[in-house]
């Protein structure tokens, strides 16, 4: 019997803030125990540093230059073959739960899902006084807002229970909004890592930075000390700890139904987050590991013994072919896949290198233009590509600027060693050119779709408009 597939995607979650990756705070005790049943990937990377292109890569097994979802184009090409589409055609019931308008039906992200729930839109049900939602309302009043996480878990549980009556395996993709900004976890996680010293700082300023004030920081309008960033990080860590708690709640529900042993569970993130590194906040304008190095835990008790680690490079584009190989589904009809299967689950070299790409969001650039008209944001208005091996990362910007980092000895990418290691940079630059030349031309103009005011309102709240 083919397994159920549960794909849980944490928004804006950088791997080095998870205790299962060695972080000094106990942010993910439940995920750490879950990894003991499965495989933890130490070097997993997103193909893009923000949600739409990252999800497009995850769903298609292709890098952004192939699927073309980018800052200029946020709409799925209708001709692309998607993972849920293949699974639907092979007898799966497929369901996606989205907590933000970044991935929505109008943009084409629902292709292949016979059930696509826009939680951010459905959440208005919570605001109505309905006895069915009284538990959600009470939790929100007592503990604070949680970005629909509890509500979404309830919806997923109901769908799983209904699906069990069909006799078909399920594929669920759940996009959790935590710990995306604003960093404001519900009680008691809001104070899980805060210290008394936090009261010494300007709370209004820190809350502003947590919401949308990071753009003023990047526009050089506001200065932020390292100590202030440390306070903001405690809130971010609280968001991660809360999500860890809720993910464990969902996993326990699956165990209670007797489905855990035959469920392929994949937990990852679409991208990471910046907290002042290289003068940046949030998740735009760079391809440093703060944004593209993501957690990845894969669990299926029936397939392999847990507790292992894979230290070699993998990319989220690899999930598509890996899942199909596990299910013994032929990939030849799926179009070109840039990913490679790691279904052997051995610590072998799956890639000598991985790639990532970035094209700036037109909406985010518009924020600089509107709110900070005197700031020269041209340094942010550039596309970026990178190639990363286990030892080095070469980054190339569309304005001609280049960087090389010895990531083995400089994990925080602070020292550009481009001139010092010219042979390494020349080799990686050539490999990056070969990669770039392998794709067709970029779309000159993105597909235009009509998005309603509720979509725009949600995107504004996320800082994308």
**Predicted confidence pLDDT, tens digits, the chain (465 residues):** 799 999 999 999 999 999 999 999 999 999 999 999 999 999 999 999 999 999 999 999 999 999 999 988 888 888 889 999 999 999 999 999 999 988 888 888 999 999 999 988 865 554 444 445 566 655 665 556 799 999 999 999 999 999 988 999 999 999 999 999 999 999 999 989 986 566 778 889 999 999 889 999 999 999 999 999 999 999 999 999 999 999 999 999 999 999 999 999 999 999 999 999 999 999 999 999 999 999 999 999 887 777 899 999 999 999 999 999 999 999 888 888 999 999 999 999 999 999 999 999 988 999 999 999 999 999 999 999 999 999 999 999 999 999 999 999 999 999 999 999 999 999 999 999 999 988 865 544 556 666 767 777 777 776 676
Residue 255's CB is within 10 A of a number of other CB atoms, namely 12
Q: Give residue for tokens 């990852």.
A: 268
* Residue 83: predicted pLDDT: 97
195: which residues sit within 8 A by CB, 6+ positions away? 234
Cβ atoms within 10 Å, residue 194: 14
Distance of CA 145 to the CA centre of its chain: 21
For 234-291, the DSSP string reads HHHHHHHHHHHHHHHHHHHHHHHTT-GGGEEEEEEES---EESGGG-EET-S--SHHH
Give me the residues paired with residue 394 across strands.
387, 404
**Cα 53 to chain centroid, rounded:** 10
| pLDDT value, residue 139 | 61
- For residue 127, the model assigns a pLDDT of 46
Contact between 85 and 325 under an 8 Å Cβ cutoff? The reply is no
**Contact by Cβ (8 Å): 83, 320:** yes
Using the structure block, give the residue that is written with the tokens 């010494």. 200
Beta bridge partners of 263: 4
Give the integer Cα–Cα distance in Å for 235 and 445. Answer: 39
Residue partners of 276: CB distance under 8 A and separation at least 6: 217, 224, 226, 229
| Residue 417 tokens, joined | 């060693």
Question: DSSP character for 391?
Answer: S
Q: Are 347 and 78 in contact (CB under 8 A)?
A: no
Q: Which residue has the tokens 């800052």?
A: 71
pLDDT of residue 196: 58
Instruction: Tell me the CB-side half-sphere exposure of residue 80, using CA atoms within 13 A.
Output: 26
**Residue that is written with structure tokens 């969001």 in the block:** 361
Task: Tell me what pLDDT residue 129 has.
Answer: 45
CB atoms within 10 A of CB 351: 20
Q: What kind of fold does domain 4-352 have according to CATH?
A: Alkaline Phosphatase, subunit A (3.40.720)
The Cα 447–Cα 106 span in angstroms is 11
Q: Cα(214)–Cα(224) distance, rounded to whole angstroms?
A: 10
Q: Smallest Cα–Cα separation from 324: which of 92, 127, 46?
A: 92
What lies within 8 Å, CB to CB, of 413 at 6+ separation is: 277, 278, 288, 289, 393, 403, 405, 407
Distance, C-alpha 399 to centroid of its chain = 27
* pLDDT for res 456: 72
8 A C-beta contact, residue 159 and residue 115: yes
Q: What pLDDT is attached to residue 446?
A: 57
Phi and psi of 265, rounded to 5°?
-105, 125
Calpha distance 115→94 (Å, rounded): 6
The alpha-helical segments, DSSP class H, found in 61-146 are: 64-67, 83-89, 119-122, 124-127, 134-143
Which residues on neighbouring strands pair with residue 299, listed in sequence order?
A: 265
| Alpha carbon distances (Å) from 460 to 212, 242, 373 | 10, 24, 19
Distances 365 to 103, 108, 391 between C-alpha atoms, Å: 20, 24, 33
- Report the alpha-carbon distance of residue 179 to residue 243 in Å, rounded: 8
Residue 10 tokens, joined: 């944490």
Domain boundaries, the chain: 4-352
Instruction: Work out the burial of residue 197: count CB atoms within 10 Å of its CB; fewer than 13 is exposed, 13-18 middle, 19 or more buried.
Output: exposed
Residue 198 is predicted with a pLDDT of 64
């Amino acid at each position: 019997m083919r397994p159920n597939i549960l794909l849980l995607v944490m928004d804006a979650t950088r791997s080095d803030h998870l205790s299962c990756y060695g972080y000094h705070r106990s942010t993910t005790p439940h995920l750490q125990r879950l990894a003991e049943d499965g495989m933890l990937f130490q070097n997993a990377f997103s193909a893009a540093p923000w949600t739409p292109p990252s999800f497009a890569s995850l769903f298609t097994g292709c890098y952004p230059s192939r699927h073309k979802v980018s800052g200029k184009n946020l709409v799925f090409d209708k001709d692309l073959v998607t993972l849920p589409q293949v699974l639907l055609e092979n007898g799966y019931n497929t369901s996606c739960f989205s907590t933000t308008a970044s991935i929505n039906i109008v943009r084409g992200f629902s292709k292949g899902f016979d059930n696509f729930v826009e939680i951010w839109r459905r959440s208005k049900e919570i605001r109505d006084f309905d006895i069915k939602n009284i538990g959600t309302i009470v939790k929100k009043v007592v503990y604070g807002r949680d970005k629909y996480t509890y509500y979404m878990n309830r919806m997923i549980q109901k769908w799983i229970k209904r699906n069990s009556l069909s006799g078909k395996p399920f594929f669920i993709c759940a996009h959790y909004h935590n710990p995306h900004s604003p960093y404001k976890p519900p009680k008691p996680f809001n104070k899980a890592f805060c210290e008394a010293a936090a009261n010494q700082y300007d709370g209004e300023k820190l809350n502003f930075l947590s919401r949308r004030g990071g753009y003023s920081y990047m526009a050089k309008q506001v200065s932020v000390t390292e100590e202030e960033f440390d306070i903001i990080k405690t809130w971010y860590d609280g968001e991660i700890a809360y999500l860890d708690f809720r993910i464990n709640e969902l996993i326990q529900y699956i165990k209670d139904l007797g489905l855990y042993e035959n469920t392929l569970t994949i937990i990852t993130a679409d991208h990471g987050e910046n907290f002042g590194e290289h003068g940046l906040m949030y998740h735009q304008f760079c391809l440093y590991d703060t944004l593209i190095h993501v957690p990845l835990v894969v669990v299926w008790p029936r397939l392999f013994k847990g507790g292992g680690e894979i230290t070699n490079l993998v990319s989220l584009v690899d999930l598509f072919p890996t899942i199909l190989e596990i299910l013994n589904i032929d990939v030849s009809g799926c179009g070109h896949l840039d990913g490679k299967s790691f279904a052997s689950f051995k610590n072998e070299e799956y890639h000598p290198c991985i790639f990532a790409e970035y094209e700036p969001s037109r909406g985010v650039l518009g924020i600089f233009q509107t709110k900070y008209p005197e700031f020269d944001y041209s340094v942010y208005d550039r596309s970026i590509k990178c190639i990363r091996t286990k030892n080095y990362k070469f980054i190339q910007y569309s304005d001609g600027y280049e960087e090389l980092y010895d990531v083995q000895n400089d994990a925080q990418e602070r020292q550009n060693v481009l001139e010092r290691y010219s042979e390494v940079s020349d080799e990686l630059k050539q490999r990056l050119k070969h990669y770039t030349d392998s794709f067709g031309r970029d779309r000159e103009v993105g597909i235009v779709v009509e998005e309603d005011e509720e979509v725009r309102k949600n995107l504004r709240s996320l800082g994308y408009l």
